[in-house]
């Protein structure tokens, strides 16, 4: 198809340019014509030379008065400048000097007496006005791409000039338009009154009016969102056709587990639990996302599902991002699920990379024979050697730490597609969640258990360090424990960051009468687990750590946390860290010690984290700061990159796109109808068949 034509067949593109295009992610005709300007310049309004201000981009029309091509004499040629072409341009109000470096050929084009349009930034040189390397066009050239119209500006690497890309896209469009397919079917375009592909491409690159540009952009935003939603619903349609394992929900078992808890479930937990239980008893697999802020009690809800699965004689797997978390979950699950009437301790096990070879072999065997009912593990769970007898349920904790592909590997270990529950502590606005995770059902725990006290957050500077240490001493004397978090384990000469190893010594000296422990990701698995156990048993008072404690570590008595160089951490990460100390009824304190000169971005992050403890607000602000592309990352949802759409900004369009995509797939799940032919073609071609796999 025409859209697949490689770029080297386009006029003006040689092997070097093609390579540079490839580096920008463009490989074929379609990639190029879909490379949209990120902004426009209105080059229709001329300024008089007398009105020019310094450092302003302006368009000027005038008559060329003088031209001069200076060739640098050989001895004066610096490596870069070999010639300078200078002109004086005059209008009825004044004149301006323009110059171009190493473009001697201009001498043949820009001649005295011609009327010329230039666009560029004016400056002052030798008391006169000057413009260096402006874009130019002869004013009798009505077809100029660079002046006299609204002109697109593209994000480019240094290999390309704006002029070159404009010209190349125009050549590509001339070919492309002869035989291109409109991915959006006529009926959908008509419904929303959107221009067709030919007009839209013209208008997005070379708009005649602002309105044309706007309509074209809207169409492409819609197109992008529409196809992301088509994918989501294709996935969902496929999922609904899976045959699942119908689990029997034993009321007595639910009651038994409930009695084992030392607290009562909150009303949100109860509601979510009933949604999950009803999923488990259906004839197709559960596929549910459970969202809830750090510490709201997601694990316990998952525990019921795991228990019910085991009661039905099926196996369940819980995947977590860290070893410590795996062990912690094992302990709490054993507490809740084992004992009289429940599972034995031996049927709830952990697998991680630091378990001995011999034990691992045993786990493989017990899993395959079905002796293990619940397995908790890190990435080790998705190794090839892991085989289940009858996997019935998969739970993914902290789902943002895993990619779609990794999660899928675990699901595939079931002989029948297992029930799936993915849990996330990054609550995102519902409309957005529906769109990105539209193939999942969504549950939200909106409130944390009663009695939790939000941390008091203090944002301090290095000179207040002694005050902080005194504060810590006070807390330790009251019997509380403290975390101190560092951005790096060891010093790095390039950066002035506090390192854990260096500070461990300082902290040990400062708090002589207390026990100080060290914890980081490079420690051996067993060592890590022992350290956390010691912290739990209060044999360690101050834990000096990296962010490995970020997820899951659950120690109620540790209620103060200091974070060094917090400007180095993301919002979500800071919020997760703070979650570690909001687990009891003591007042928690979260203390940030930042360096002095912070970037605007860092300032905003630290301001947000100091202002609120509400995970929903923090997630929303984070999204705004980073933009959805960076916030989600392709890995997590497996949808194509959004290039022009921004689901946050384009929420209304997204809703429309979602509804139309939903209807399309509902009426024609395999896209076989004649009116959906173009959608199918587009989806097949664009994703080269990959979309069916995920
Ligand atoms: P997260 O949602 O971050 O995974 P957890 O499930 O780890 O949260 O729960 C955090 C802490 O709150 C745990 O210590 C858990 O035992 C406790 N917890 C959970 N539910 C309740 C509840 N309804 N009442 C009191 N404490 C609870
Ligand atoms: Mg959790």
Q: Is residue 110 part of a domain?
A: yes
- Position 690 scores a pLDDT of 45
Mean of the pLDDT values across residues 301-322? 95
pLDDT band for position 640 (cuts 50, 70, 90): low
Q: What is the CB neighbour count within 10 angstroms for residue 377? A: 25
Cβ–Cβ < 8 Å for 360, 381: no
Q: Is residue 207 part of a domain?
A: no
Q: Which ligand is located closest to the Cα atom of residue 445? A: 1
Q: Among 424, 446, 465, which residue terminates a domain?
A: 424
Q: Higher pLDDT residue, 334 or 529?
A: 334
Distance in angstroms (rounded) separating the CA atoms of residues 156 and 38: 10
Query: Which domain covers residue 498, as residue numbers?
Result: 456-612
**pLDDT for 122-140, tens place per residue?**
998 888 899 999 988 887 7
Q: Are residues 96 and 62 in the same domain?
A: yes
**pLDDT for 29-50, tens place per residue?**
888 999 999 999 888 888 899 9
Range from 62-66, 100-104, 363-367 carrying the lowest mean pLDDT = 100-104
Distance in angstroms (rounded) separating the CA atoms of residues 523 and 3: 52
298 CA closest ligand 1 atom index = 2
Q: Is residue 106 part of a domain?
A: yes
Of 261, 268, 297, the residue with max ligand 1 atoms within 8 A of its CB, to mutate for a pocket test, comes to 297
Q: From ligand 1's centre to the CA of 33, what distance in Å? A: 52
Q: From ligand 2's centre to the CA of 325, what distance in Å? A: 8
Distance in angstroms (rounded) separating the CA atoms of residues 523 and 502: 16
Distance in angstroms (rounded) separating the CA atoms of residues 471 and 312: 52
Q: Are residues 417 and 566 in the same domain?
A: no
266 CA closest ligand 1 atom index = 23
Q: The dihedral of CA 34, 38, 39, 40: what is its sign?
A: negative
Residue 558: exposed, middle, or buried by beta-carbon count in 10 A (0-12, 13-18, 19+)? buried
- DSSP state letter for 565: S
Q: What is the CB neighbour count within 10 angstroms for residue 409? A: 18
Q: Are residues 463 and 604 in the same domain?
A: yes
Does the structure show a pLDDT above 60 at 77? no
- Position 694 scores a pLDDT of 34
397 CA closest ligand 1 atom index = 4
Q: From ligand 1's centre to the CA of 225, what distance in Å? A: 37
Q: Which ligand is located closest to the Cα atom of residue 576? A: 1
Chain-centre distance for alpha carbon 387: 32
Domain CATH code at residue 519: 3.40.50.300
**Ligand 1 pocket, 439 CB below 6 A?**
no
SS3 181: coil
Residue 334: exposed, middle, or buried by beta-carbon count in 10 A (0-12, 13-18, 19+)? buried
Distance in angstroms (rounded) separating the CA atoms of residues 155 and 682: 26
| E strand segments, 102-207 | 115-125, 128-132, 135-138, 150-153
User: What is the tally of structural domains in the chain?
Assistant: 4
Mean of the pLDDT values across residues 63-71? 93
**Ligand 1 pocket, 395 CB below 6 A?**
no
Distance in angstroms (rounded) separating the CA atoms of residues 253 and 259: 10
Q: Is residue 495 part of a domain?
A: yes
Q: Are residues 373 and 259 in the same domain?
A: yes
Q: Are residues 406 and 480 in the same domain?
A: no
Please give the span between the terminal C-alpha atoms of the chain, in angstroms, as a whole number. 25
Of 510, 509, 540, 514, nearest in space to 527 by CA: 540
Can you read off the two tokens belonging to residue 660? Answer: 């139309």
Does the structure show a pLDDT above 80 at 74? no
Q: Among 592, 612, 632, which residue terminates a domain?
A: 612
Can you read off the two tokens belonging to residue 128? Answer: 């006169």
Q: Is residue 242 part of a domain?
A: no
Q: Among 555, 582, 612, which residue terminates a domain?
A: 612
- Position 236 scores a pLDDT of 84
Nearest CA to ligand 1 atom 9: 297
Distance in angstroms (rounded) separating the CA atoms of residues 470 and 468: 5
Residue 446: exposed, middle, or buried by beta-carbon count in 10 A (0-12, 13-18, 19+)? middle
Q: Are residues 119 and 174 in the same domain?
A: no
Of 424, 370, 431, 372, nearest in space to 395 by CA: 424
Of 642, 581, 517, nearest in space to 226 by CA: 642
Mean of the pLDDT values across residues 510-528? 91
**Ligand 1 pocket, 138 CB below 6 A?**
no
Q: Are residues 568 and 531 in the same domain?
A: yes
Nearest CA to ligand 1 atom 13: 297
Q: Higher pLDDT residue, 77 or 311?
A: 311
**Ligand 1 pocket, 320 CB below 6 A?**
no
Domain CATH code at residue 162: 1.10.150.20
293 CA closest ligand 1 atom index = 2
Distance in angstroms (rounded) separating the CA atoms of residues 560 and 13: 61
556 CA closest ligand 1 atom index = 14
**pLDDT for 546-601, tens place per residue?**
988 766 677 889 999 999 999 999 898 899 899 889 888 899 999 999 988 889 88
Cβ–Cβ < 8 Å for 309, 393: yes
Cβ–Cβ < 8 Å for 44, 150: yes
Can you read off the two tokens belonging to residue 250? Answer: 């034993």
Residue 265: exposed, middle, or buried by beta-carbon count in 10 A (0-12, 13-18, 19+)? middle
Mean of the pLDDT values across residues 431-458? 85
Question: What's the chain's length in residues?
Answer: 694
**pLDDT for 333-363, tens place per residue?**
999 999 878 899 999 999 998 889 999 999 9
**C-alpha torsion angle, residues 622, 625, 629, 635 (rounded to 10):** -30
- Position 583 scores a pLDDT of 81
Q: Are residues 420 and 486 in the same domain?
A: no
Q: Are residues 368 and 469 in the same domain?
A: no
pLDDT band for position 63 (cuts 50, 70, 90): very high
Q: Are residues 7 and 119 in the same domain?
A: no
Q: From ligand 1's centre to the CA of 264, what distance in Å? A: 10
**pLDDT for 480-498, tens place per residue?**
999 999 998 887 766 678 8
> Pairing mode, if any, of strands 558-564 and 481-485?
parallel
**Ligand 1 pocket, 300 CB below 6 A?**
yes
Q: Higher pLDDT residue, 294 or 618?
A: 618
Q: Left if phi > 0, otherwise alpha if psi is -120 to 50, otherwise beta: which for 207?
A: beta
**pLDDT for 174-199, tens place per residue?**
988 888 888 898 989 999 999 999 99
Distance in angstroms (rounded) separating the CA atoms of residues 389 and 373: 10
Q: What is the CB neighbour count within 10 angstroms for residue 261? A: 13
- Position 439 scores a pLDDT of 80
Q: Are residues 471 and 586 in the same domain?
A: yes
Q: Is residue 276 part of a domain?
A: yes
pLDDT band for position 686 (cuts 50, 70, 90): low
Mean pLDDT (the chain) is 88
Q: Are residues 485 and 606 in the same domain?
A: yes
**Ligand 1 pocket, 583 CB below 6 A?**
yes
**Is the full-model pTM beyond 0.85?**
no
Q: What is the CB neighbour count within 10 angstroms for residue 545? A: 27
Highest mean pLDDT among 10-19, 131-140, 172-181, 457-466: 457-466
Backbone angles phi, psi at 339, to 5 degrees: 100, -165
Nearest CA to ligand 1 atom 1: 295
Q: From ligand 2's centre to the CA of 145, what distance in Å? A: 56
Q: From ligand 1's centre to the CA of 272, what distance in Å? A: 14
Q: Is residue 507 part of a domain?
A: yes
> Pairing mode, if any, of strands 287-292 and 419-424?
parallel
Of 177, 245, 227, nearest in space to 206 by CA: 177
**Ligand 1 pocket, 294 CB below 6 A?**
yes
The helix or strand, by DSSP H or E, that contains position 349, with its residue range, turns out to be strand 348-351
Q: Is residue 212 part of a domain?
A: no
Residues with CB under 5 A from ligand 2 (ion): 299
Residue 500: exposed, middle, or buried by beta-carbon count in 10 A (0-12, 13-18, 19+)? buried
Q: What percent of the chain has pLDDT over 70?
A: 93
Q: From ligand 1's centre to the CA of 551, what distance in Å? A: 13
DSSP secondary structure string, 272-315? HHHHHHHHHTSSS--EEEEEE-TTS-HHHHHHHHHHHHHHTT-E
445 CA closest ligand 1 atom index = 2
Domain CATH code at residue 74: 2.40.50.140
- DSSP state letter for 523: S
Count of H-run helices and E-run strands, the chain: 21, 21
Does the structure show a pLDDT above 80 at 76? no
**C-alpha torsion angle, residues 287, 288, 289, 295 (rounded to 10):** -130
Q: From ligand 2's centre to the CA of 298, what distance in Å? A: 6
Does the structure show a pLDDT above 70 at 636? no
């Amino acid at each position: 198809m025409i859209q697949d034509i490689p770029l080297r067949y386009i006029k003006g593109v040689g092997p070097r340019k093609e390579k540079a295009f490839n580096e920008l992610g463009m490989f074929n005709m379609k990639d190029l014509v879909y490379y949209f300007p990120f902004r426009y310049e209105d080059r229709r309004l001329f300024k008089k030379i007398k009105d020019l201000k310094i450092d302003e981009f302006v368009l000027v029309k005038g008559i060329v008065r003088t031209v001069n091509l200076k060739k640098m004499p050989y001895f004066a040629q610096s490596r870069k400048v070999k010639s300078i072409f200078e002109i004086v341009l005059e209008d009825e109000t004044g004149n301006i000097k323009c110059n171009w470096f190493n473009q001697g050929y201009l001498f043949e084009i820009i001649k005295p007496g011609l009327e010329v349009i230039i666009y560029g930034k004016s400056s002052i040189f030798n008391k006169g006005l000057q413009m260096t390397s402006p874009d130019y066009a002869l004013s009798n050239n009505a077809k100029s791409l660079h002046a006299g119209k609204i002109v697109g500006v593209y994000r480019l690497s240094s290999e390309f000039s704006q002029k070159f890309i404009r010209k190349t896209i125009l050549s590509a469009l001339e070919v492309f338009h002869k035989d291109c397919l409109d991915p959006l079917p006529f009926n959908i375009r008509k419904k929303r009154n959107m221009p067709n592909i030919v007009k839209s491409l013209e208008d997005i690159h070379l708009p005649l009016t602002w309105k044309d540009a706007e309509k074209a952009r809207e169409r492409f935003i819609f197109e992008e969102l529409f196809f992301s939603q088509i994918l989501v619903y294709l996935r969902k349609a496929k999922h609904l056709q899976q045959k699942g394992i119908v689990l029997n929900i034993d009321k007595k078992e639910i009651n038994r587990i409930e009695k084992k808890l030392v607290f009562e479930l909150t009303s949100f937990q109860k509601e979510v639990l009933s949604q999950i239980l009803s999923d488990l008893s259906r004839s197709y697999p559960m596929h549910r996302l459970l969202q809830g802020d750090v510490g709201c009690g997601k694990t316990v809800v998952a525990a019921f599902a795991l228990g019910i699965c085991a009661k039905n004689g099926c196996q369940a797997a819980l995947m977590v991002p860290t070893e410590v978390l795996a062990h912690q979950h094992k302990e709490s699950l054993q507490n809740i699920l084992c004992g009289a009437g429940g599972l034995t301790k031996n049927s709830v096990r952990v697998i991680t990379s630091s378990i001995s070879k011999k034990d691992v072999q045993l786990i493989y065997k017990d899993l395959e024979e079905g002796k293990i009912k619940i397995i908790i593990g890190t990435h080790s769970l998705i190794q090839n050697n892991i085989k289940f007898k009858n996997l019935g349920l998969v739970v993914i904790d902290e789902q943002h730490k895993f990619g779609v592909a990794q999660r899928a590997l675990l699901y595939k270990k079931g002989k029948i597609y297992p029930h799936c529950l993915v849990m996330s502590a990054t609550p995102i606005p519902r409309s957005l969640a529906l769109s990105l995770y539209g193939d999942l059902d969504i549950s939200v725990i909106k409130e944390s258990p009663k009695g939790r006290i939000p941390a008091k957050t203090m944002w301090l500077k290095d000179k207040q360090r002694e005050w902080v240490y005194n504060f810590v001493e006070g807390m330790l004397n009251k019997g509380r424990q403290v975390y101190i978090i560092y951005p790096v384990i060891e010093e790095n000469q390039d950066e002035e960051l506090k390192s854990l190893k260096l500070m461990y010594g300082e902290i040990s000296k400062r708090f002589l009468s207390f026990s100080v422990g060290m914890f980081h990701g490079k420690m051996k698995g067993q060592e890590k687990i022992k350290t956390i156990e010691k912290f739990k048993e209060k044999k360690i008072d101050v834990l000096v750590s990296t962010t490995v404690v970020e997820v899951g570590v659950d120690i109620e008595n540790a209620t103060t946390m200091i974070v060094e160089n917090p400007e180095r951490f993301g919002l979500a990460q800071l919020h997760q860290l703070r979650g570690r100390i909001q687990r009891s009824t003591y007042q928690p304190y979260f203390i940030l010690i930042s360096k002095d000169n912070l970037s605007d971005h860092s300032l905003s992050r630290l301001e947000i984290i100091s202002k609120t403890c509400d995970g929903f607000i923090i997630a929303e602000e984070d999204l705004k700061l980073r933009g959805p592309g960076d916030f989600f990352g392709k890995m997590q949802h497996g949808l194509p990159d959004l290039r022009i759409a921004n689901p946050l900004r384009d929420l209304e369009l997204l809703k429309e796109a979602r509804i139309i995509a939903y209807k399309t797939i509902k009426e024609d799940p395999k896209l076989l109808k004649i009116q959906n032919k173009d959608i199918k073609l587009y989806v097949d071609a664009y994703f080269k068949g990959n979309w069916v796999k995920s």
